[in-house]
Chain A
């Protein structure tokens, strides 16, 4: 009996450490003693589904929150690693504490926010990539097609074979949108260009990325735009062996392969988060779907280096001007 109890206790300790991995939420950042006096001050809180140092989606959002704190000089707080059990409650925690703006970092907060926004009509809610809007609930998203359109323009200008390619990870809306924008951009330059679109079914499988890139190279594709995570390593490896140039994604990837990367389609959600908070602080918040395009700086092509000729750079800059000025409109894929 004693041995058994001991065993059970050991198991308990082990299993609770297992559970801790999968388990709850959250830290935060500073709330000071001044909190009470500042009930009327503009304060921003954010809820993250994952760890804020994940070098990916959550970290990008956290960067936005840090900018809000440092550049707007407002008090911020956050909860991280919030499990699905607490999505709704974590929003409510901040709303009930008088935070002026509460952000949920990801589509999973759409439904919880819709509910909580009704309970706290004086609090503004924002869901990143959210699906709903209400008088006090906005969604923010990047206008991915605009920057991938520019990537398509660069690709078509730089291609000598008249064949360009797009390699996406999973076939889900943001990835599809980037492919569509790329195709439109390439055809804008050269209506007869051949654009091949491929989805790996995986963001991180480098072997699959290499295979797809090699297949494209064999068919004569000489510029590839990709929208994947670690699978980019396979694509870069394949490009090295063939005469293929690449356009990166999300952040400026030039340093990863200076001889291959023409530019990158930067998509920086942290800027969008910062911008919406700024708008709210200025009292201009609207319960609508905010779409951050080339004019916001949240999306942009990375600076060109010497591997892109000056006339191409000039042409791309002109297209960008036309998009920003509204002379050239790009369709947003319906959700």
Chain B
């Protein structure tokens, strides 16, 4: 009975209650995590001699004082959202891709290499080609560990972390060497030339900095939701995540599925890197990412690997980042304390994800039978 589509039957009161509790948990735990981190942060801020209420007031103003600040939050959330979507997708299949940072760099490299060329094509095509380049660059960087994992069972956590370093230094090589902009200029920085105007993402909410990358991220969230929860492939991918052996026994090509989800995840990280270049930075610089690929892991966890949850988590992190920046600039909170607060948020998010996961254990089978109906 458990494996029958539940929609055939009316759900039992116990099931409804469990479902309700589960949703409540999914919503409340992340908020609890952030609240706990803010309380710890307030204590630390007070210890540095700054009034925590004043600091948090500046933080809030940084997030919501004006349209401009709101636009900034969305800009910061954009790369986190796109990477997070890919990570949620791959985590659902039980593959722990820690390599989004490297995939982001490789995607940005290929995407930028296309974006700086004068192709003489319409802007929409130039943007599309650059983003495609980003997907291919990141996707290839995900393909490698995906293949090693699926085919040779080599732990993807190790390989993806190591590949991060390789990717970052490959980009260093290109920004110092072949793609470097005018190395003879006074104190020239290791960076590529500016991307062509035709490949820059348009600003969509002037005078804020919001660019077309954000709606692109929203669209991707919808697509991933449909793929994961409304298409056969998503069902299979989640089945592989729950039990690779069972999925294999059921006749699924688990090897292929693992490789595909890794390529999609890497590709989306690559798209995120390219979006950041085309929409914000307009040049690829040495060490250009402040750890976006790592922050996105926390975002996927916080969003429960669900595209819409990831959207909310990315917005929250974007807001925290912009707000924290404002708090530093205008309330005089030392940078080290701000880093500690941000790390504390991630810590509590990780803990709450663990609590949620353990709480769901006894209901695992029933929950699954219901969710897949």
Contact = CB atoms under 8 A, between A and B. Distances in A.
Contacts of A13: 346-347, 350
A80 B332 CA distance: 11
Interface stretch (A21-29, A243-251, A258-266, A277-285): A21-29
B335 A20 contact: no
Interface string A85-113: 11001100110110000000001100000
A25 B335 contact: yes
B348 to A, nearest CB: 12
Interface stretch (B196-204, B263-271, B288-296): B288-296
B326 A27 contact: no
Nearest to B194: A111
Contacts of B346: 12-13, 16
B333 interface: yes
A174 B187 CA distance: 9
Nearest to B207: A119
Contact of B98 (A8, A17, A28): A8
Interface in A119-167: 119, 129, 131
Interface of B: 54, 58, 68, 72, 94, 96, 98, 101, 157, 161, 185-187, 189, 207, 209, 276, 280-281, 285, 287-291, 294-295, 297-298, 301, 321, 325-326, 328-339, 342-343, 346-347, 350, 353-354, 357
13 contacts: A9-B354, A16-B294, A23-B339, A24-B321, A25-B328, A27-B336, A77-B332, A78-B329, A79-B325, A83-B290, A97-B330, A107-B189, A174-B187
Main secondary structure of the interface of A (DSSP, over half): helix
A161 B225 CA distance: 80
Interface residues on A, range: 35 or more
A23 B333 CA distance: 16
Nearest to B331: A31
B325 A86 contact: yes
Interface majority SS on B: helix, strand, loop or mixed?
helix
Contacts of A321: none
A108 B339 CA distance: 24
A320 interface: no
Contacts of B294: 12, 15-16, 18-19
A16 B291 contact: yes
A108 B354 contact: no
A11 interface: yes
Contacts of A1: 94
A23 B346 CA distance: 14
Nearest to A24: B290
B161 A4 contact: no
Given A19-B291, A30-B332, A31-B331, A9 B72 contact: no
Given A16-B295, A26-B325, A11 B332 contact: no
Given A26-B338, A27-B328, A8 B287 contact: no
Contacts of B72: 89
Contacts of A4: 94, 96
Given A13-B347, A15-B98, A22 B161 contact: no
Contacts of B328: 25-28, 79
A31 B333 CA distance: 10
A85 B157 contact: no
Nearest to B301: A12
B66 to A, nearest CB: 8
